[in-house]
Chains A and B, each alone.
Chain A
């Protein structure tokens, strides 16, 4: 069993709790507006389409398509050594999700390539533990 990675802790604002509780269970849930059905991300108090405050934390497919990527060669965080491949992919449900592909190879990527979200145990750098999500090439 490989050692559990340390990563910079996520922002935990007033609307973010349910997202990370779901991720810790290996599920990706986002707020879907109860009035108009729009899925928003990152979490927020109102729907930007209709201003409704009512929403439910809906289970997402986890399937996305690549929109772009970059590779960090400069080290910004002590917990994340370069090179680090970060991918922006559009979920089937609409939102663009940013996550890395640990050990990923940018030369394998192209626009619209299918990817899926995967979950991995993590130690956050604030001392807490949980799961983090990454993108992975869809097999």
Chain B
């Protein structure tokens, strides 16, 4: 039978997020910047996140019978954290880990799955560009273009933004709307690493790293851990600490043709992102008009423009106008990355966005609360891969 996203019904409304745990991003960042020796590694950050998520959910470690490890190596984390599991697997991206978790729960392999993420990128000095950039055969383009100096992830996005500027007339000032709005959200978030509001003047003074992208368009690099606890809807209803937040939809999208030549990216990742967004909408039974707040994988701010178009929030080439007229910051009609995102809160590979979506849907986001948040949508787009998840309140 040919692929049909309408058939993706088995995963929706079977699992709910009942616990979130995040480490103290600000304190760990400050310690690393002060060059204090690290006090723990990625497994330690994973453990802190798990402990906080268990407390949040009102569960014990012995209640966890399934685990999906994200980024942190799964066999070792299971050992270090002393987990006794029936189901265990590793994933990297949010939509991958969430798919494994809901499949484990819906198939009966596990009832209570901890999605455990931890990283120590800042204290371990991980490099994303230059002679010591992380690379492997899986991502050939991270080192293939060394002779011309083109190795950094930011540069790979800057060429897409430059093409978008040429094609659709996007201006530097308009790119600035994104980091400025996210910093305004972060100023309302005590967990955020960068909390001082920034102005357009600050943005335009921010140095170019790989033009057209500036330092303020780049995400942070910091250590930390995030855990989400996902369980069956039945069990979720019996837990009393918080209202359960239902996993409504998960979408995948791929476009690998000539990926190392950046062809999908230079096409604004339209194929892969459209696929991922549509799959998540179909599975959730909602559309862009139902979404209360939007979250994205903001390793670089320029991506938001073509992403909004690819998700069906606005027409091709109209994202800057959409952002300007709707407003994406506090008080705006289209809230985006309400915790500050990876630009201003913390770089947790999109996992901190998941925690914030849960807080918004619980109604626990304090001064950042989006009134009557019903559905939150998260989108990521990396190289040839897009992923999309939608969470909602229990109806």
Interface on A for B, CB 8 Å cutoff? Answer: 7-11, 41-42, 48, 67-74, 76-78, 80, 84, 86, 88, 95-100, 106, 110-111, 122, 124, 132, 134
Q: How far is the CA of A37 from the CA of B147 in the complex (A)?
A: 28
**A72-B266 in contact given A7-B147, A10-B147 (Cβ < 8 Å):** no
- Chain A residues contacting B131 (CB-CB under 8 Å) are 8, 76-78
Segment at the A interface, from B4-12, B195-203, B206-214, B378-386: B206-214
Q: How far is the CA of A75 from the CA of B367 in the complex (A)?
A: 40
Q: Which 7 A-B pairs have the closest CB atoms?
A: A76-B130, A68-B163, A96-B261, A80-B149, A70-B158, A8-B146, A68-B159
- Chain A residues contacting B162 (CB-CB under 8 Å) are 68-70
In contact, B148 and A86 (Cβ under 8 angstroms): yes
**A111-B166 in contact given A8-B149, A73-B207, A73-B210 (Cβ < 8 Å):** yes
Q: Which of A72, A95, A110 touches B261 (beta carbons < 8 Å)?
A: A95
Q: Quick one: closest A residue to B151, CB to CB?
A: A76
- Near A by CB (< 8 A), chain B positions 143-157 give 143-152, 155
Tally of B interface residues using CB under 8 Å: 36
- Chain A residues contacting B148 (CB-CB under 8 Å) are 7, 80, 84, 86, 98-100, 132, 134
Nearest Cβ distance between residue B163 and chain A, in whole angstroms?
A: 4
For B236-266 the 0/1 string (1 means CB < 8 A from A) is 0000000000000000000001101111001
For B153-183 the 0/1 string (1 means CB < 8 A from A) is 0010011101100110000000000000000
Nearest Cβ distance between residue B207 and chain A, in whole angstroms?
A: 6
- Chain A residues contacting B260 (CB-CB under 8 Å) are 41-42
- Chain B residues contacting A95 (CB-CB under 8 Å) are 258, 261
- Chain B residues contacting A122 (CB-CB under 8 Å) are 147
In contact, B147 and A71 (Cβ under 8 angstroms): no
Nearest Cβ distance between residue B125 and chain A, in whole angstroms?
A: 15
Q: How far is the CA of A124 from the CA of B147 in the complex (A)?
A: 8
**A76-B152 in contact given A11-B143, A110-B166 (Cβ < 8 Å):** yes
